[in-house]
Structure 1
């Protein structure tokens, strides 16, 4: 149960980010300052965790004549070549692109809609993998994509508002964030797999921060702005966005499986919509909640089908 709770808590952490960003915009902070403070705190926390992990492993080195309990130690190496470190830093850059376009979309569309668009990474990832493998998705996957697309249209308010009242630029930015996040999910798990997960995460976050400093020179580090309420915003975004979810996912996902983790990770969507409705006072209609429910069903369909085929759930006949 503790592994399920860990993945659930990690996904819920992601769900509150959009609300914090909207509040930061309300205080007059700019995009580069918001994302920069988040990644700065994420880098600091990630490397503190690396130091702690190294210390913990050094304490658990096998004493002479004793058998070490390998199950207690995380797998992976904490020693990498510089080429591997650079590869990890490059693999971390899509997270910056995702943050930039996703947070920018919040200037044009409600946070409840932005998170729904970001969630389109579920079917975009499937499409990218199908193109890379030159393999057509099976019928279950195609049906799942249809459910996700229909749920998105309902949740986005197309049935109530029509296309004319939808901010096209905001929609485009939201979908761009989904594409970028899909690339991150696709490549991050394949680069330098022999590295310790904590070390991989630290180098990837570092690579993202370096790219951000190139795109948006971090003037907030030197003009005193960091010691304003921006520090609190950065702490919240860095803690709930760049630190807590990766740590909890590394802890829980290997024990519950990627498919079930994807289902439980979908809790990010209703949490984000609920935060938008309660904290930001955004109007979320009944139809939009129905759309959210349909999207969640679409996310769960592939894993539920797999479990049913293995005889571990009810029959789909």
Structure 2
């Protein structure tokens, strides 16, 4: 029962993440664009996390060293590209379809670890990928040819965001493990904002909507979409473990779909709901298996 609080923290962080796609799509109606939203969200989050780093500094334990900074910046560039591509995708396709495609990071991660680290997936993981793909076809309504009105560009943007998200997850789990979460997250967000700025400097500097209204929304995105979830995950994951946390974080998928339905009035068919359930079940089963396997090894 003592872990209930930490389970709630991780669920709350995942819920906050899940609301972002619908909110960003809503902000497009105000004329804002993906580049400026993703950039300022990352930059302001880096600032807020920098304040947290300064306030919570106690000793040299977990201190950010020069050798850690570059790997963290590169890791941040992956999540920066993820957010930009994901935000860009929802301007072409529905928010519910975008989140379904983003969840492909699960099998992208397995594929990358196989290619880069020669870590061959188990039979269960292959089976999981199969069910994720079936669930994706159902959740994306891709079995109904009559409904094929989606944008190929939007699909590709969402797929690339899924790939860069997989790169981020793998890199984040391997670099600078001893650095305190505040300093690590701050460095990652600096890398995130830099990568978005390099790619979209003209849009951010020239074709922007900078003003009080925009900055209020940017601050909201930075706090609710990055800073608070980062803190919640840091507090919760360390207590309940990555295995259970990865299961709980799949709440992002149903939350995003529900938000798309409530906020954007996007229609969700029973077939799509069934596909989402299959995806969630497959991802949860795989992560739970990994959790049990890790627990036995300990």
* Structure 1 and Structure 2 fold alike (TM over 0.5): yes
- Which of 162, 165, 168 is the aligned partner of 2:149? 165
The structure-2 alpha-carbon separation of the partners of 1:42 and 1:307, relative to structure 1 and needing over 3 Å to count, comes to closer
After superposition, give the CA deviation of every residue in 1:145-182 in whole Å (9 maximum; x if it has no partner): 11111001000011234574332221111111000000
User: Could you tell me which residue of structure 1 aligns to residue 264 of structure 2?
Assistant: 280
How far residue 45 of structure 1 moved from its aligned partner, in angstroms, is 1.1
2:104 pairs with 100, 103, 120, which one? 120
Deviations 1:22-64 (A, max 9, x none): 111111112221112211221121111112212xx37xxxxxx
* Corresponding position of 2:69: 85
* Structure-2 change in CA distance of 1:310 and 1:185 (3 Å): closer
| Secondary structure in 2 matching 1:193 | coil
Shift in Å, 1:285: 1.1
Q: Does residue 180 of structure 2 align to residue 196 of structure 1?
A: yes
Give the alignment's TM-score, normalised by structure 1: 0.85
Q: Give the distance between the partners of 2:71 and 2:284, measured in 1 at CA.
A: 32
Q: How many residues align?
A: 293
Superposition RMSD in Å: 2.4
In the TM superposition, residue 135 of structure 1 has moved relative to its aligned partner by 4.0
Partner of 1:68: none
Q: 1:144 deviation in Å?
A: 0.7
Distance in 2 (alpha carbons) for counterparts of 1:183 and 1:289: 28
Q: Which moved further from structure 2: 240-249 or 109-118?
A: 240-249
Cα pair 1:24 1:34 within 8 Å, conserved: no
Where do 1:93-132 residues align within 5 Å? 93-132=77-116
Given that residues 64 and 184 in structure 2 are in contact (C-alpha distance below 8 angstroms), is that contact kept between their aligned partners in structure 1? no
Task: Give yes or no for the alignment of 1:230 onto 2:233.
Answer: no
List runs of 5+ in structure 2 lacking aligned partners. Answer: none
8 Å Cα contact 2:46-2:190 kept in structure 1: yes
Aligned-residue offset at 1:217: 2.6
Question: 1:135-284 maps to which residues of 2 (within 5 A)?
Answer: 135-161=119-145, 164-217=148-201, 225-284=209-268
Q: What SS does structure 2 have at the residue aligned with 1:226?
A: coil
User: In the alignment, what sits opposite 1:6?
Assistant: 9
For the pair shown, the structure with the greater C-alpha radius of gyration is: 1
